[in-house]
């Protein structure tokens, strides 16, 4: 099926969100591996899984629209380096440092979802993106609250 310009733009927008979700999944996994506190480790593992599920949901929609869904994290070298940096930043670091990195990752996700929502999306897709965006905001606020609690301890 030939993709119209509107569909191509939609697929591009959704693929950017898939990349964002995959980045989040990878980032939360890295953080979960390195954090000591079992409750935060469990939270990060759960968030990684939710990011993976969000990516899968977006991939299905891209397929329905006849597009080629993204299936990896950001291919851009700078974002790849970011995960390598993240890995080195969190290895052996305290909870607060790891939570800072997780929050920075969620800042990027907030920006990307906000950008997607500023576009002219079909109603059903807008509702899905909005629902996922609310999850991103929840993650961000939860991570920030944990970070602030860690900061208060030090």
What kind and span of H or E run contains 95? helix 95-117
Q: What percent of the chain has pLDDT over 90?
A: 53
Pick the CATH number of 5-153 from 1.10.1370.30, 3.40.190.10, 3.40.50.150, 1.20.1260.10: 1.20.1260.10
Question: What is the C-alpha separation between 105 and 82, in angstroms, rounded?
Answer: 10
pTM: 0.86
> What confidence tier does 114 reach under pLDDT thresholds 50, 70, 90?
very high
User: What residue spans define the domains of the chain?
Assistant: 5-153
Lowest mean pLDDT among 4-13, 34-43, 68-77, 107-116: 68-77
Mean pLDDT of 73-98: 62
Question: pLDDT of 30-82, one tens digit each?
Answer: 888 888 889 999 999 999 999 999 999 999 999 998 999 887 665 554 554 56
Q: How far is CA 18 from CA 57, 119, 122, in A?
A: 9, 16, 17
* Nearest by Cα to 39 from 133, 142, 137: 142
Residue 54 main-chain phi, psi, to 5 deg: -65, -40
Q: Is the pLDDT of residue 24 over 70?
A: yes
Question: What is the C-alpha separation between 34 and 12, in angstroms, rounded?
Answer: 33
């Amino acid at each position: 099926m030939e993709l119209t310009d509107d569909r191509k733009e939609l697929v591009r927008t959704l693929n950017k969100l898939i990349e964002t979700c995959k980045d989040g999944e990878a980032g939360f996994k890295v953080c979960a591996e390195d954090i000591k506190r079992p409750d935060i480790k469990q939270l990060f593992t759960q968030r990684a899984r939710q990011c993976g599920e969000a990516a899968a949901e977006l991939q299905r929609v891209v397929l329905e629209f006849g597009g080629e869904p993204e299936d990896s994290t950001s291919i851009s070298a700078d974002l790849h380096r970011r995960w390598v940096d993240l890995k080195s930043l969190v290895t052996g670091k305290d909870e607060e440092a790891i939570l800072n990195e997780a929050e920075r990752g969620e800042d990027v996700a907030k920006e990307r979802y906000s950008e997607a929502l500023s576009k002219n999306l079909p109603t059903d897709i807008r509702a899905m993106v909005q629902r996922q965006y609310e999850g991103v905001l929840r993650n961000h606020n939860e991570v920030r609250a944990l970070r602030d609690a860690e900061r208060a301890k030090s």
